[in-house]
Amino acid sequence: MLQGHGDDAYRYQQKMRANFSTNVWYGREPAGLQEHIFAHWPVINQYPEVQAESLARKISRHHGLQASQLLITNGTTESIYLIAQAFGKSQTTIAIPAFAEYEDACRLHHHEVHFVQQCDVQAGLQTAPGLFFICNPNNPTGHVFTQLGELITTNPQTLFVIDEAFIEFTRNVPSLLTLINTCDNLIVMRSLTKAFSIPGLRLGYLAANAQMISTLLPCKMPWSVNALAIEAGHYIFDHYANAPLPLTELFREKEQLIQQLTQLSFTIDDSHTHFFLAKMPFGTARQLKAYLIEAHGLLIRDAANFRGLTEQHIRLATLTKDNNELLTHALTEWTQHYS
């Protein structure tokens, strides 16, 4: 969808005091990244590498893979559309609720699309031939699938596309990148925009066996990753150990926010990430979003356009304690005046 995602603050004239609608880490980019990019500013005077080859080599070494098993992309969204195009007209299953681009990309390339509830994605599930898109951890629910390895190995007829865009926001959830060398029916998509707070640069990558990468390459346009994004990627992986997310603090603030929302009669879905779904006790997400923007300068994600959710669902990302309190005070006012 071209519209309807989170972080649509640019569509409003007023400046937002806090943005709960995006799942991107609320902190700044890694220390030193801005200076690195400006120091390499002259790279914009020439074309970037056609396929960001040097960055692919660096990231593959980081994960213990071969460069031929990696493809650098213009964010995870490009990865999704590349896969949908390369396997056009496939039978495709999507675990829902889920990021809308899986369905949009597949329909664009004439897939026969089916859906399965995320709670039904278990190790014993027998999957159909074709593609299976699973977001782990899930967006928008924050749910984690714990038996994907067994599911993938027992269903070799299915190509599993696993989106790990938010895996850095979880605890003790292993990446499936470790299965790339042993599972030919696996593509893992990763994002560098979420945990490193650079969504405006659009940078991600996917990993699969070398033959799968060769299948995807003809669908990829040259120079889709710009020179500054490539430089950012180099800096991130050169300093990867220096930029861990403060998960202990982040999860502590999340639990406090959830407790306050529960006291306001919001129903909260269990989440293993810093973001979570909340169902409103009355009214619609559209109404609440408009109220929070106009009265408080706060932005939330109206989650009604996620397949499988309702017009009462909102998605919230945990921010700082002060910003979280702004939201709970605004929601308290909303419940008092509109209940």
CA dist list (Å): 152 to 51, 52, 205: 29, 29, 20
Give the pLDDT of residue 109: 98
Number of neighbours of residue 279 by Cβ within 10 angstroms: 16
Give the pLDDT of residue 2: 58
- Give pairs for 43-50: CB < 8 Å, separation 24+: 43/227, 43/228, 43/230, 43/231, 44/226, 44/227, 44/228, 46/227, 47/223, 47/227, 48/223, 48/225, 48/226, 48/227, 48/230, 49/230, 50/222, 50/223
**pTM for the full model?**
0.96
Tell me whether residue 39 is exposed, middle or buried, using C-beta atoms within 10 angstroms of its C-beta: 0 to 12, 13 to 18, 19 or more: exposed
Could you write out the DSSP letters of every residue in 38-50? HHTGGGGGSPPPT
Give the pLDDT of residue 337: 81
Domains of the chain from N-terminus onward: 9-25+245-338 (3.90.1150.10), 33-242 (3.40.640.10)
Give the pLDDT of residue 69: 98
Give the pLDDT of residue 339: 66
Given a contact cutoff of 8 angstroms between Cβ atoms, the answer to whether 58 and 234 are in contact is yes
Taking 70 as the pLDDT cut, the residues of the chain under it are 1-4, 6, 339
